[in-house]
Amino acid sequence: MVLEEILIQAKKLKFLGKPPIQDHILNANGFVQTINELNIGAKEAKLVDLGSGGGVPALILIENFNNWNFVLIERKEKRAEFLSWAVKKLNAGARTEIICDEVENIARNPQYEATINVVTARSFGPPPITAECACRFLKNKGHLIVSEPPHGIDRWVNPALKETGLVPFKANKQGNGTFQVLELQGKPSNRLPRRPGVPKKRPLW
């Protein structure tokens, strides 16, 4: 299977964590299931994946939603080069864009601002950083889907979240993980996201 071969290569390059390849695929399938439960999986849509790294969940999502367009953002050049190679192997180059840059910069680009149906994040950062970096990409009623750590507890409940326009929508608990879904219900503050590095140094909460 081409996808497994790609992920094996990602693991050799140390772009994926220690768990076996099948565990990474299972977790990515949790994103697939969550999207399907939002009833948008069959429609044409556009997805941004934050910090795509070794390709999980992005490559699995590309395989499952073959009428979608994707934007994979990765700030490290070698990983971005790997993702470009992987997308070509999957014959998905025509509908997938790889961007090597900081997420905060891309979110401010009018080409992507308020144009995205779904943003995904797996190990991108804590809730305040992820919310700040994701919010400006989303269309009204668009969704941010985040793979949560084991035993996560109400990490998204904070008054400061309001500034992003995002609202916790549902927590999708499955055998392959827990996925927090947030919906954009308000306009993000004009100051968000702040310049690269600032969300990490001075998180919203």
CATH number at residue 112: 3.40.50.150
Residue 15 resides in a domain: no
Q: What is the pLDDT of residue 131?
A: 98
| More confidently predicted of 84 and 177 | 84
Separation between Cα atoms, residue 143 and residue 170, nearest integer Å: 11
DSSP letters spanning 78-115:
HHHHHHHHHHHHTT-GGGEEEE-S-HHHHHTSTTTTT-
Residue 122 resides in a domain: yes
Residue 106 resides in a domain: yes
Q: What is the pLDDT of residue 173?
A: 87
Closest-CA residue to 184 (of 118, 85, 94): 118
| Structural domain range at position 159 | 2-8+20-201
**Predicted confidence (pLDDT) at residue 164 exceeds the cutoff of 90:** yes
**Predicted confidence (pLDDT) at residue 152 exceeds the cutoff of 70:** no
Residue 177 resides in a domain: yes
Averaged over 161-169, what is the pLDDT? 97
Q: What is the pLDDT of residue 154?
A: 85
**Strand, coil or helix: what is 49?**
strand
**Predicted confidence (pLDDT) at residue 42 exceeds the cutoff of 80:** no
As for how many domains the chain has, the answer is 1
Q: What is the pLDDT of residue 205?
A: 97
Residue 14 resides in a domain: no
Taken as a whole, the chain contains a residue count of 205
Separation between Cα atoms, residue 185 and residue 163, nearest integer Å: 11
* Residues above pLDDT 70, as percent of the chain: 99
- Residue 55: CB atoms within 10 Å: 28
**Predicted confidence (pLDDT) at residue 165 exceeds the cutoff of 80:** yes
Residue 196 resides in a domain: yes
Token representation of residue 191: 């100051």
